[in-house]
Amino acid sequence: MRTILKTVGAIVLAGAALAAGHAAFALDDTARQPVVVTPIASTNLTAAGQPIMLPQKDARVIASLFEIAPGATLPVHKHPYQRYGYMLEGELLVTNVETGAKTTYRAGDFIVEMLDIWHQGVAVGPGAVRLVVIDQVEGDVQNTLLRSKTTP
């Protein structure tokens, strides 16, 4: 019973720490290393300054690991639903094709991608880009639309 109470207490402490946004604490008396929660980002806007829009029905989350070779250029594309990225390695230069605005993302950066705006990425650093991408879509919708050569 004592072990169960100790475990429940640790879970409650972990939840409280996550709710607080940043904390370091030991899970139990025997723990040697604390759990550290470090906020990475907090925003309600996309990279283009738009409000974040979430699926209204039949929500689905898709998580992927992207690996982009040095010098590789992604095709011009846009996302009809919200997409987030967390840079693990490398440098990614993203250009808003509609405005020409450019942003370089590096390891440790969190990206709230543009919503329904044509953009393009290029791996500009000496190494490969590795990033975790999380999409929030409705149903089975694809979240990346490629611009055809005839699309303005």
pLDDT in tens, the chain (152 residues): 343 334 334 433 344 343 444 444 445 555 667 999 999 999 999 999 999 999 999 999 999 999 999 999 999 999 999 999 999 999 999 999 999 999 999 999 999 999 999 999 999 999 999 999 999 999 999 999 999 877 66
Pair type for strands 129-138 and 59-68: antiparallel
Quick one: pLDDT at residue 30?
55
Q: Under DSSP, is residue 2 helix (H, G, I), strand (E, B) or coil?
A: helix
pTM of the full structure: 0.75
Decide: 79 and 104 in contact? Cβ < 8 Å.
no
Quick one: pLDDT at residue 122?
98
**Farthest CA pair distance, the chain:** 68
Domain 59-146 has CATH 2.60.120.10: yes
Taking the alpha carbons of 95, 46, 108, 142 in that order, is the dihedral positive or negative?
negative
Domain range summary for the chain, segments of one domain joined by + = 2-37, 59-146
